[in-house]
């Protein structure tokens, strides 16, 4: 673990940026987040704006770890990644996938509010036409009966690598796992849980999707990984290149890595804090990222939004340092 620096030091090192997005994703068209220029490198505090301090504090802990601590030893220098396909129309799929050259795996968003299962089927089949391995992510959007029907419908024309968080709760995932042949992956049931190991103890998942920032950093992620016996997929939370770099560092540190990781979401941004490199043979290099100063200036958020993030760090900081007054 890393000693938490003084609040004033954190605030002095804070950069707030707004990254415009190519398509609406997770209901937003731009991604606002804070970067910390620490003595050991750069960290990212990107908890979504609706998250309250108890949850957002985990993201701040990860940013502090990245910017003030030392990364774990790497076991690999390249990490396979998946393409991420938002809930776009089937006709838009080729344009999205064109931003992921050489990728063999795609994660497709499904169960989007206001859309139908038929929309999901069309989108998934459009991806299948271009990418050999397809996984879907419902973000907990289905009941157990809905998920069972969706699993049957979405595999009618080809296999799925897995269903990610098809239902919101651990008991629902466990029930569904006995009803369908498609592997079940847990995301929110791990990163939003008081006990991130409960989903594994309940036999509710075949794969664990671990996101570094929401868990509180690489050290926490590696601790969880050491206590579970199912494969792990490291994924991002719509991170900037800095956060993606930290996710790649985490994936590179895992003893085993059997699946492509969800660390290609930088392709969803029009611009980022560095020039984002294309994957090579479906992989990205592991290692830290240092933002381009010119891009930091260009992408800097307005003064009032910078103040909002300063106030947010102030609100989260006592949760990292309980003794602070």
Tell me what pLDDT residue 324 has: 41
Closest listed residue to residue 255, CA positions, set 281, 217, 229 = 229
137 is known to lie in a ligand binding site: yes
Residue 21 near residue 239 (C-beta atoms within 8 A): no
pLDDT digits (tens, 9 = 90+) for 61-120: 999 999 999 999 999 999 999 999 999 999 999 999 998 989 999 999 999 999 999 999
- Active-site annotation holds for 107: no
Tell me what pLDDT residue 194 has: 80
Out of 3.90.280.10, 3.30.420.40, 3.20.20.120, 3.30.70.870, the CATH code matching 78-285 is 3.20.20.120
Q: What is the pTM of this model?
A: 0.93
> What's the average model confidence in pLDDT over 226-253?
95
pLDDT digits (tens, 9 = 90+) for 256-306: 999 999 999 888 899 999 998 889 999 999 988 999 999 999 999 999 999
Tell me what pLDDT residue 321 has: 82
- Active-site annotation holds for 192: no
Distance CA 122, CA 153 (A): 11
**∠ CA(275), CA(237), CA(309), 5° rounding?**
85
Residue of 58, 109, 135, 267 marked active site: 109
Tell me what pLDDT residue 195 has: 85
**DSSP alpha helix (H) spans, 70-160:** 93-97, 117-128, 144-154
Give the up-direction half-sphere exposure of residue 183: CA atoms within 13 A in the CB hemisphere: 16
Distance CA 48, CA 44 (A): 12
- Would you list the domain boundaries of the chain? 7-71+293-319, 78-285
Residue of 211, 259, 267, 312 marked active site: 211
7-71+293-319 and 78-285 share one fold = no
Q: How would CATH label the architecture of 7-71+293-319?
A: 2-Layer Sandwich (3.30)
């Amino acid at each position: 673990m890393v000693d938490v620096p003084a609040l004033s030091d954190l605030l002095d090192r804070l950069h707030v940026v707004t990254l415009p997005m190519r398509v609406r994703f997770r209901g937003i068209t731009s991604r606002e987040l804070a970067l910390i220029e620490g003595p050991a490198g750069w960290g990212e505090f990107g908890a979504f704006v609706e998250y309250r301090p108890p949850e957002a504090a985990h993201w701040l802990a990860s940013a502090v770890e990245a910017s003030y601590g030392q990364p774990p030893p790497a076991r690999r220098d390249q990490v396979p990644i998946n393409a991420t396909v938002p809930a776009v129309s089937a006709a838009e799929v080729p344009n999205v996938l064109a931003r992921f050259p050489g990728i063999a795996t795609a994660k497709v968003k499904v169960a989007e509010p206001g859309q139908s299962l038929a929309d999901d089927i069309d989108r998934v089949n459009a991806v299948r036409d271009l990418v050999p391995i397809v996984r879907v992510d419902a973000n907990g959007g289905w009941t157990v009966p809905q998920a069972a029907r969706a699993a049957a419908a979405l595999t009618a024309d080809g296999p799925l690598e897995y269903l990610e968080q098809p239902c919101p709760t651990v008991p629902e995932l466990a029930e569904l796992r006995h009803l369908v042949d498609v592997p079940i992956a847990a995301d929110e049931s791990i990163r939003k849980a008081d006990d991130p190991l409960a989903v594994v103890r309940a036999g509710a998942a075949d794969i664990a999707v671990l996101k570094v920032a929401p868990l509180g950093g690489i050290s926490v992620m590696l601790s969880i990984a050491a206590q579970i016996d199912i494969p792990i997929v490291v994924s991002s939370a719509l991170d900037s290149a800095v956060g993606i770099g930290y996710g790649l560092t985490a994936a590179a540190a895992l003893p085993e890595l059997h699946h492509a990781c969800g660390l290609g979401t930088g392709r969803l941004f029009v611009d980022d804090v560095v020039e984002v490199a294309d994957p090579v043979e479906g992989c990205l290099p592991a290692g830290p990222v240092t933002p381009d100063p010119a891009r930091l200036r260009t992408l800097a958020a307005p003064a009032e939004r910078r103040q909002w993030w300063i106030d947010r760090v102030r609100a989260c900081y006592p949760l990292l340092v309980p003794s602070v007054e």
